[in-house]
Amino acid sequence: MIAEIGAFAAALALALSLAQGVFGLAASRRDSRAEATAAIAQAAAALCVLAFICLIIVFVRSDFSVAPVAANSHIDKPLIYKIAGAWGNHEGSMLLWCLVSAVFGGVLASTRGSQSFGLWSRAVGVQGLVTAGALIYTLFLSNPFARLDPAPMQGSGLNPLLQDPALAAHPPLLYLGYVGLSVPFSLALAALLEGKADQAWAKALRPWTLLAWTCLTLGIGLGSYWAYYELGWGGWWFWDPVENASFMPWLVACALVHSAIVTERRGSLASWTILLAILGFGLALLGTFLVRSGVLTSVHSFAVDPQRGIAVLVLLAIAMGAGFGLYAWRAPKLAQPSGFAAISRESMLVWNNFGLAVAAGVVLIGTLYPLLVEALGGGLISVGPPFFNMTVAPLLAALFIVLPFGPMLTWRVGDMRQALLRLAPAAALAVLTLIIALVITHWRAAPAIGLAIGVWLIAGGLIYLWTRIRRGEGAAFAKIAVLPLAVWSMSIAHIGAGVLTLGAVAETAFRSEQAVALSPGEGVTFAGRRITMIEIGEVEGPNYSATRANFRVDSASGAGIVAAERRFYPTSPMPTTEVGILSSLDGDIYIALGEAVRDGAGAWSVRLYHNPLVHLIFIGVSMMGVGGLLSFIALTRRRRSAA
Amino acid sequence: MSLIALLVAIVAPAALSDPAQEARAQSLEREIRCVQCENEPIAQSTAEIAADMRALVRERVAAGDNDTEIRAFFRQRYGDFVLFRPPWDARTWALWGAPFLLLAGGLAGVLAVRRRRDGEVEDAVAEEGER
């Protein structure tokens, strides 16, 4: 019964979303149609919420007569993973897509801000059509409420790799990011239809872009963290096609966050901002397509279904056809922007957009290239980390060298001499880092440059904060207290990029690993530490059994105990690794337990990793996320006080 | 010889005694693709074939082959697919050229916009100065 309520609510939401599209696009003035559009959008959102609640209920009650529950859940699963199971599968995740799109549509319909009625109602209309497209796909091609007859007695369980708190939160965050980009897309199409992209429009665009970017940042960060501690080989980013699928929209969203600032503050770059908004959503849809179609061989091959892939491709073609078609037709008619000098905040933001857009293009080509070669009969090739590290890393390095100048320059015409003077201490620190790193690493240029850039970003961000604090009046604390949230958010995000750079460079360049065979009582010297296996034995978990080994790590600064496991789930043929991680200030000792060595002497194969400064990667990403969140709060607060 | 290396690798996946060789072996293991798994380097994979391939990398490194020779060895044996570093031939010129084309295109775009605006901004600055 509950599944039928859910299916009915989703179907009703589809009808309402279509109505929202028609009314929204037709309403241009403040009339009853505009009011109806808002009410319809809110009702559609409420119905999607109801449908999703129904899905969660059938998962919690383990109603195995519902197909996705039978395929992905299990009686013995802990409650939290039964709930997370609702979106941890293809059908449920598509309903989540619809839910987010509809709720964003409802919120968009409730917050007009200072936009004109035409712009606002058309954006709500386009958003309605986006929701409708997602609902059509969900209801007709991947119905989460499909019944099974006869119902199985037991479910086939979730992939044990996915039974993890980080991974319970990873898909919803990514979807908030992906679908969050649909709102800038709707606003962009509305602007093209109206032939107007003014500052009020950019003001409405910015919080949505920031929300999407922040969610993508945190979602990608969580996924990377999960890969680090769950996959058991010490890596955190592999330029996997599925990782790239989320990285491309992130890059474009990051460019959009910055170009929208220019459009709002100066009225410039409106046409470019619109193009980015269209591209961002296109790449988000492409990401959904790449993940869901299984067109790319990838470790993330959890949901493989070519028919659904084609359907996503059709939706992608419709959205991008409409987007680019409108863009080609209407963008030339948009008002010409006001000017700015070569040395100004605007021009720095243009360079930011240049770097991020080129990086997104390179990742796109690298990700799709093997498909292209194969389709043209060129056989199978792989484009992996060596290609991306050689191309994207230098681009981002150049971008990061320019970055600290941006905040230091004023709008329209900036003073480069003054900016250089202020940033001189940061430059000195960076050069010092470069020299020290070169000497220590015996002239390995790439990691030394990387570390110097990280220091440059952090020091540059701190100097900017300091100049802003000094500008205030009164006592030191008063000066800090009156600093606008926007200054904090930008500084935290930029410093976070520096922290991330330090961690990524140190981990990539200076990690060490060693495979050893250890029996209880035996030890080995690794990365300046003594690592001893204390004991190994069997333990029982709630729905798995495991082999657990305890290790003792002795270093100059003290000793620590850490456990590593190999888990066997009855529902899955492959064992999973639960690595043991011992964190300290200089990085992680990371221990993955392998199999018993074959000759039977009681020794186990163990892989040891030392990942220097790896925690800085996740701290840096979190700082970027916090920066985005603070900026979002600052924007919505400003909007409320203006209303 | 290869069989012995294989057995040694499974019984005791010992590191190469020379740290420089060991580091090279590890970095090669991160850019050679496991032929059985989906999109995993042999460094990461738990499959048996990956263990065999790791042993093979170590054997070649110990035998004194350089990185290019080892890549060529694997490429000959398993095809281009096995290398995460795309080959440089007629099929991949567009791939390796793409970053440069994008850079050039982007630069041209930025400069075109800049040239158009320089004129405007001089007018604007002049206007502001008069005010």
ipTM score assigned to the predicted complex:
0.86
| pLDDT value of position B117 | 60
Whether B112 contacts chain A with CB within 8 A: no
Query: Which has the higher per-residue pLDDT, B119 or A482?
Result: A482
- Please check whether residues B10 and B63 belong to one and the same domain: yes
State whether residue A641 is helix, strand or coil: helix
Q: Which of the 8 DSSP states describes residue A574? A: S
Whether B123 contacts chain A with CB within 8 A: yes
- Please check whether residues B95 and B37 belong to one and the same domain: no
CB pairs under 8 A between A and B: 136
Contact flag A387-B95 (C-beta cutoff 8 Å):
yes
Contact flag A338-B124 (C-beta cutoff 8 Å):
yes
Of the three residues B42, B60, B82, the one that is the final residue of a domain is B82
Mutation site, B29, B38, B83, B116, interface A, largest A CB count within 10 A: B38
Contact flag A354-B99 (C-beta cutoff 8 Å):
no
- Mean pLDDT score of chain B, rounded to an integer? 78
* Run of H or E residues at A523: strand A523-526
pLDDT at A318 over 90: yes
- Please check whether residues B63 and B20 belong to one and the same domain: yes
CATH architecture assignment, domain A512-617 = Sandwich (2.60)
- Please check whether residues B99 and B59 belong to one and the same domain: no
Q: Confidence class of residue A474 from pLDDT cuts 50, 70 and 90?
A: confident
Of the three residues B49, B65, B82, the one that is the final residue of a domain is B82
- Please check whether residues B46 and B11 belong to one and the same domain: yes
How many Å apart are CA B7 and CA B21, to the nearest integer?
A: 20
Domain ranges of chain A: 1-163, 169-402, 409-483, 512-617
- If you measure CA to CA, which chain B residue comes closest to A412? B121
Of the three residues B49, B67, B82, the one that is the final residue of a domain is B82
Contact flag A365-B98 (C-beta cutoff 8 Å):
yes
Residue range A549-577, pLDDT digits in tens: 999 999 888 889 999 999 888 767 778 88
Contact flag A605-B13 (C-beta cutoff 8 Å):
yes
Mutation site, B78, B121, B122, interface A, largest A CB count within 10 A: B121
User: Which residues in chain B have Cβ-Cβ distances shorter than 8 Å to A337?
Assistant: 117
- Please check whether residues B91 and B107 belong to one and the same domain: yes
- Please check whether residues B126 and B91 belong to one and the same domain: yes
- Please check whether residues B56 and B108 belong to one and the same domain: no
- AA identity, residue B86: P
Q: Which of the 8 DSSP states describes residue A187? A: H
- Given phi > 0 = left and psi -120 to 50 = alpha, else beta, which region is A344? beta
- Mean pLDDT score of chain A, rounded to an integer? 90
Q: Which two tokens stand for residue A499?
A: 């922290």
Whether B103 contacts chain A with CB within 8 A: yes
Predicted structure pTM score: 0.92
Q: Which two tokens stand for residue B65?
A: 């082959």
How many Å apart are CA A305 and CA A291, to the nearest integer?
A: 10
- Please check whether residues B68 and B16 belong to one and the same domain: yes
Residue range A53-100, pLDDT digits in tens: 999 999 999 999 999 999 888 888 889 889 988 988 889 999 999 999
Mutation site, B8, B39, B103, B120, interface A, largest A CB count within 10 A: B39
| pLDDT value of position B9 | 41
Contact flag B79-A380 (C-beta cutoff 8 Å):
yes
How many Å apart are CA A33 and CA A36, to the nearest integer?
A: 5
CA distance A233 to chain B (A): 5
Q: Is residue B45 a contact partner of residue B29, using CB atoms and an 8 Å limit? A: no
- Please check whether residues B51 and B96 belong to one and the same domain: no
Task: Compute the average pLDDT of residues B94-109.
Answer: 94
How many separate domains does chain B show? 2
Q: What residue numbers bound the domain in which B97 lies?
A: 87-131
Q: Starting from the edge strand earliest in sequence, which strands make up the sheet with A512-518, in order?
A: A512-518, A604-612, A587-596, A580-584
Q: Which two tokens stand for residue A21?
A: 């599209």
| pLDDT value of position A247 | 96
- Please check whether residues B78 and B95 belong to one and the same domain: no
State whether residue A41 is helix, strand or coil: helix
- AA identity, residue A526: F
Whether B95 contacts chain A with CB within 8 A: yes
pLDDT at B4 over 50: no
pLDDT at A302 over 60: no
pLDDT at A131 over 70: yes
- Please check whether residues B53 and B15 belong to one and the same domain: yes
pLDDT at A476 over 80: no
